[in-house]
Structures are given as structure tokens and as C-alpha cells.
Amino acid sequence: MLTAALLVLAAAFQVGPAATGSPAPSGAPLAILDGQPITASDIEPIGGANLTNARLQWYTAQRGAVEEAITRRLLEKEAKARNISVAELLKAEVESRITPVTPQEQKSFYDANKQRYFANVPEPEALKQIEMGLGQQRMQQRRAEYAQSLRARANVRMLLEPPRAVVSADDDPARGPANAPVTIITFSDFQCPYCSRVNPTLARLKDRYGDSIRVVFRDFPILQIHPQAAKAAEAGQCAHDQNKFWEMHDLMFADQQKLDVPSLKQHAATIGLDATAFATCLDTGKYAEEWKKDSEDAQAAGVQSTPAFFINGRPVVGAVPYEQFADVINEELVRANRPVPPEKPAAATPTTTN
């Protein structure tokens, strides 16, 4: 018998012979109680993060299967063009191009991971496992690289629709045009170290994509572990009153040890705010309800930790690498029939001479 959680999941995703992975329309009934329907929109506030995570897992599984299907067809097409079998193609383009795992590499990996993985494994057996594992890893990597080279020459369109949450910008501070094809809504906490680490990534994205993206900042202070985050959120909004939110944003993230009220007022002076107006705003708690509203919206969308992002409604959780953001943004630009700008070359490291 399905558990209650699986029943909810099955209803939300219309699981069955023709399942697509797309949520049921918000008005479609999932259950009837005394003649009154319970719809997908009714269960969103209840399911919260559980539904968000389930949708992401289901989409990830589907996406992986679709990607593998594409790869297999590309390999079959190339093998047919060469009049050889897929096995022969893989042997020529994958297996023959993999460098063997050397004894030195095996021993280096063993020494670095002995306590973690091989504490109870005799060294000779561990080295065999390492050789096999690293060899398989290289095989998979080379296969993926070769498949990507075939894909670059093919006409591939990804039509699988990812899960999206409905999250509004709520008139919060933003960078980028309102009509940008890609909107990134950020839920962040000024005392969260991971939130500060992702800021260089966001700056790099803005540098590459320019007016194609709009970044919206919303507050989600995690008060249980970041007691100064709430007042910092209010300080950001007070600075926003004087059109200097991003200057305050940068100062607070630059030194997360100085988020007490006197330090926040010093930050305001540093960026040239009207000190009296800022102090009145901060001391009266003018924007206390604002960060609470942001937090409620975050939780309703399934956010449990910071930083959290919604790229055109697609959730991205944590201070993930630049490439993960770029992949999603590129897909959204393609869906909007907008050009994908090339990656900018890394800035050259200045050289010095004595």
C-alpha cells in the first residue's frame, strides 16, 4: 500500500502510465472532501520543502535519463555513419584514449584517503579497488566528453520542463531591467558565511549576462544561528530608502563580524547616508515586518537554508559553483529564444618584476 507521502506525491505529479513529471494544474482536484476539492495550490503551503525536494529529485532522475537517451542515440548515429558498431566506436574514441592509472597515483590516493575509506582494508586490496575506481571514473569522464563533442554538432533541444516555484520579487532591491528574460530571486542572510561566498559568483554572472538577467534580493535571516541577521536585513531596507541598498549590502557582507547596531550605523555613515534618517528607520524597526514577509514567502516556496535562489522559478540551493548557475541561465535564455553570451576569458593575473 502506498504511504500517505507517496499518495500526495503521486497526485501532485499525476504518476501513472503517462506520467510526465509536471505538477498537476493548480486547480485540478487531488481529492474531494464533502464535495469540496483539494487542489495542488492547497497542498503547497503544507508540503513546502518536501514537495520542492520531491519535484527536484523527480526532475533530476528524468533529466538524467533523457540525457543518457540523447547520448545513446548520438553514439548510434555516429557508429552508423562510420559503418561500425557502438562498441567499436567506444573502443576507438573512449577506451583507447584513457591513460592507465599508475601505481604512483594509486598509492597517492591511498595515502590521502586511508583513514576515511580503507581503514580495515589490506593495502594490496585497497590499491586494486583504487585502480578500478579511478579507471572507471576516467572512462565515464571521457565518454561524457566525447558525447558532448557529438552533441555540439547535432540539433538537440531539451523540452523536459523543470519544476518551478511561484516566487514574487515583492518590490525588493534589484539589479537589472524589469523585463530581463531571466530573473534570479535570492533569499539570503547577511550573517550567513555561505551567502557571502556566493556574491563573487553573482557578480561574475552579471558581468557575463548583463541586462539578460535581473537579480532580486530578499531576506531570510536564520535567527536560530544568526541573531544579528534580522537587524542587518532591516539596515539593508533602510539604506534602500536612500537608494543605497547595494552599497550597504556589500559592506555588510564584506565584514560579517560587524553587524551590531552601532556598526550598521557606522556603515551608513561610510556610504554617505543621512545618518539621522537611517538611525530612525533602524531604531524604530520600520522594516521588521518586511523581512518577516520575505521569510514566510521563502518557507512557502520550500526554502530551508540560505542562500537559496529561484532562476525563473527554478530552485537552486546553496553556494553552488558558477557553472551550475550558468547552465540554468543558458537553458532559460534558449527557452526565451534569446542569445547565450559566450563565457568571458578569465582576467590575466598581473605579473611583477623585481
| Domain-embedded: residue 346 | no
| Domain-embedded: residue 351 | no
Residues 221 and 325 in one domain: yes
Question: 16, 42, 62 — which closes off a domain?
Answer: 62
Q: Is 310 left (phi over 0), alpha (psi -120 to 50) or beta?
A: beta
pLDDT of amino acid 25: 53
DSSP 3-state assignment of 186? strand
* Phi then psi dihedrals of residue 36, to 5 deg: -105, 130
Residues 138 and 271 in one domain: no
Enumerate residues 6+ apart whose C-beta is below 8 A from 91.
none
DSSP class per residue in 268-326:
HHHTT--HHHHHHHHHTTTTHHHHHHHHHHHHHTT--SSSEEEETTEEEESS--HHHHH
pLDDT of amino acid 157: 85
pLDDT of amino acid 137: 96
Domain total in the chain: 3
Spell out the per-residue pLDDT of the chain, length 354, in tens: 333 333 333 333 333 333 344 455 556 899 999 999 999 888 887 887 788 888 889 999 999 999 999 999 999 999 999 999 999 999 999 999 999 999 999 999 999 999 999 999 999 999 999 999 999 999 999 999 999 999 999 988 888 999 998 888 878 999 999 999 999 999 999 999 999 999 999 999 999 999 999 999 999 999 999 999 999 999 999 999 999 999 999 999 999 999 999 999 999 999 999 999 999 999 999 999 999 999 999 988 889 899 999 999 999 999 999 999 999 999 999 999 999 999 887 655 444 444
| Domain-embedded: residue 298 | yes
> Which amino acid makes up residue 249?
H
Residue with cell 520550500: 302
Residues in the chain: 354
pLDDT of amino acid 41: 81
Residues 256/196, Cβ–Cβ less than 8 Å: yes
Range of the domain at 212: 174-335
Residues 322 and 186 in one domain: yes
pLDDT of amino acid 21: 43
pLDDT of amino acid 351: 46
| Domain-embedded: residue 28 | yes
pLDDT of amino acid 8: 34
pLDDT of amino acid 14: 35
CB atoms under 10 Å from CB of 326, counted, come to: 17
Residues 81 and 46 in one domain: no
- Scored b (16 or more CB within 10 A) or e, 263-302 reads bbbebbeeeebeeeebbebbeeeebeebbeebbebbeebb
Residues 185 and 46 in one domain: no
Residues 210 and 271 in one domain: yes
| Domain-embedded: residue 343 | no
Residues 212 and 295 in one domain: yes
| Domain-embedded: residue 349 | no
Beta strand 182-188 with 213-219: parallel, antiparallel or unpaired?
parallel
| Domain-embedded: residue 165 | no
Enumerate residues 6+ apart whose C-beta is below 8 A from 209.
182, 329, 341
Question: How many angstroms separate the CA atoms of 238 and 186, rounded?
Answer: 19
Cell of 57: 529529485
Residues 51 and 36 in one domain: yes
pLDDT of amino acid 347: 56
pLDDT of amino acid 331: 92
pLDDT of amino acid 13: 35
Residues 132 and 19 in one domain: no
Question: How many angstroms separate the CA atoms of 255 and 280, rounded?
Answer: 23
Question: How many angstroms separate the CA atoms of 11 and 31, rounded?
Answer: 9
Question: How many angstroms separate the CA atoms of 22 and 20, rounded?
Answer: 5
CB atoms under 10 Å from CB of 61, counted, come to: 11
Q: Is 224 left (phi over 0), alpha (psi -120 to 50) or beta?
A: alpha
pTM metric for this prediction: 0.74
DSSP symbol at 162: P
Beta strand 308-311 with 182-188: parallel, antiparallel or unpaired?
antiparallel
Cell of 145: 566528453
Residue 224: give its domain's CATH number: 3.40.30.10
Residues 182 and 323 in one domain: yes
Residues 109 and 193 in one domain: no
| Domain-embedded: residue 188 | yes
Residues 279 and 183 in one domain: yes
